[in-house]
Amino acid sequence: MNDGTKFKRMLGGILAGIGLLLLLFACIAFMSADDNVMGLAVKGARKIAPAVLGLILLISGISMVNRT
């Protein structure tokens, strides 16, 4: 493995990890009855944004790891 593929695999793993954390945060935000989640004001359509961004990062990270 050369340095380029190592970098792509590492970056893909980091992206997948961040995406997973965002999806977990979105799940907590959806399940909470209060508008404040972990000190952040998350209400209404703002609960959807972390889920969408998390899915994008997770899918791109996994595909980056699989392609190398």
* Residue 59 placed within a domain: yes
Q: What is the pTM of this model?
A: 0.85
Confidence band, pLDDT 50/70/90 cuts, at residue 30: confident
Share of the chain above pLDDT 70, in %: 99
* Residue 10 placed within a domain: yes
Q: Which two tokens stand for residue 20?
A: 């997973």
Range(s) of the domain holding residue 44: 3-63
* Residue 11 placed within a domain: yes
* Residue 68 placed within a domain: no
* Residue 29 placed within a domain: yes
* Residue 34 placed within a domain: yes
Residue linked to tokens 């992206």: 15
Q: How many domains does the chain have?
A: 1
* Residue 38 placed within a domain: yes
Report the pLDDT averaged over residues 31-58.
86
Provide the 10 A C-beta neighbour count for residue 57: 20
